Structure 1
Amino acid sequence: MEEQSSLTEMFNWRKNFGVNTVMKDFDFKELNEVQKYYPQGYHGIDKEGRPIYIERLGKLDFERLMQVTTLDRYVKYQVQDYEKTHRVRFPACSIVANRDVNRNLVILDVEGVRLKSFTRPVQNVLMQLRNINSDNYPETISQMLIINAGPGFKLLWSAIKCFLDPETESKIQVIGNKYQTKLLEMIHKSELPDFLGGSCNCKLEGGCLRSDKGPWKDISIA
């Protein structure tokens, strides 16, 4: 009964949010401006063929972010991107890998993040996105690497991880600024942005986190 109730809630949420048409109906025209104040995006695949999602949380400027978009539009954009991952990115990666690919590798760059970085508005938007993700897009992370974790973040992490279930915590590895070796164990240098120690810069696309580089952009696949 509990599982059926969860499915009903998910279907109701999708209907009320307009998820089934969000890919074609929603135009997030302010994306380039948003990227200036919260750099994030998909870029390449790891050695197991999984999409790589990179987020530079330490560069979040929430006040300026809210000057170029609204909270509702930003959340809708994130849902649109979740849908793209399930409908486009995972299927394309599955074709290339010749097996089912249904999880991401996540790199979270927290350079500069401190306890005071998490103001109440920032907490609210992150919690809203977390709830949407966990309730409607569960089990999509294979592993999360939190890099550039300084003393300030490590103090924050000690408090956060108490609220995580053991399975989720087991997927997360917190690393300091000596992360390049670990990343290159999992990702070919050509698939890794230069700001993370790779050789890619996606100069023609305006930078790696604006390129959405991956097999899902190959017309013959997607």
Structure 2
Amino acid sequence: MEEQNSLTEMFNRRKLFGVNAVMKDFDFKELNEVQKYYPQGYHGVDKEGRPIYIERLGKLDVEKLMQVTTLDRYVKYQVLDYEKTHRVRFPACSISANRHINRNLVILDVEGVTFKSFTRPVQNVIMQLRKIYNDFYPETLHQMLIVNAGPGFRLLWSAIKCFLDPETASKIQVIGNKYRTKLLEMIDESELPDFLGGSCNCKLEGGCLRSDRGPWKDISIA
């Protein structure tokens, strides 16, 4: 009964937000500009066939980001992309891997992030995205690897971790700059962007985080 109530609440929140309307009408024309100031995107799959989502939080420039979009539009874009993951990426990965896939592997690159860089505008962006994720897309995280974590970020992480659900926190591993071996345990080198120690650069697509590379781009599957 509790699980059923949670699902009902989730669907009600989605309806109130207008997820279906976003899917139907929203056009995020500023995506290329947004990528300059907050590089992120799906790229490849891990060795178990899960889609890999990568964010370069250390390159987030909130001031410039908010010059090319608004927080409301950015949140709607994230909803649109989450929906694509559920409706397109997960099914395509399931077909490709010949097993049910319904969770992501997330890599968060925090190079350069310190306590000082976690300003109020940055907090607003992250908290809005966390709310959307928790409200609409619970239980889609397989594991998160936070890489390039320096002393400044580790101090910040100590403060953040206590606010996370214990189950979610247990799926997150914080690593310094010697992360390549760990990533290659889970991801083939050809599926990993070169800026994370892999061999892929997606040069023709303008870079790995602009390519949306994965089974969902395979015409024979899609």
Instruction: Please tell me the TM-score bracket, short chain as reference.
Output: over 0.9
In structure 2, the residue matched to 1:143 is 143
Q: Is the 8 A contact 2:13 2:135 kept in 1?
A: no
State the 1:13 CA deviation.
2.6
Secondary structure of the residue that 2:116 maps to in structure 1?
helix
Residue type at the aligned position of 1:125: V
TM-score (normalised: structure 1): 0.96
Equivalent positions of 1:199-214 (< 5 A) are: 199-214=199-214
State the 1:156 CA deviation.
0.5
In structure 1, the residue matched to 2:61 is 61
In structure 2, the residue matched to 1:117 is 117
In structure 1, the residue matched to 2:46 is 46
- Return closer, same or farther for 1:108/1:193 CA change in 2, 3 Å cut-off: same
State the 1:19 CA deviation.
1.2
State the 1:4 CA deviation.
4.8
In 2, Cα distance between equivalents of 1:141 and 1:7? 17
Q: Is the 8 A contact 1:114 1:153 kept in 2?
A: yes
In structure 2, the residue matched to 1:156 is 156
Gaps of 5+ in 1: none
In structure 1, the residue matched to 2:88 is 88
Q: Deviations over 1:168-215 (max 9, x none)?
A: 121111100000111111100110001111110001100000000000
Q: Mean Cα displacement is larger for which, 117-126 or 138-147? A: 117-126
Residue type at the aligned position of 1:167: E
Q: Is the 8 A contact 2:38 2:60 kept in 1?
A: yes
| Matched positions, count | 222
RMSD in angstroms over aligned alpha carbons? 1.3
Residue type at the aligned position of 1:71: L
State the 1:134 CA deviation.
1.0
Q: Is the 8 A contact 2:57 2:108 kept in 1?
A: yes
Q: Mean Cα displacement is larger for which, 127-136 or 9-18? A: 9-18
The answer to whether residue 192 in structure 2 is matched with residue 177 in structure 1 is: no
TM-score (normalised: structure 2): 0.96
In 2, Cα distance between equivalents of 1:95 and 1:85? 14
In 2, Cα distance between equivalents of 1:19 and 1:183? 34
Equivalent positions of 1:96-115 (< 5 A) are: 96-115=96-115
Q: Is the 8 A contact 2:43 2:51 kept in 1?
A: yes
In structure 1, the residue matched to 2:35 is 35
In 1, Cα distance between equivalents of 2:213 and 2:190? 11
In 2, Cα distance between equivalents of 1:200 and 1:17? 37
State the 1:116 CA deviation.
1.5
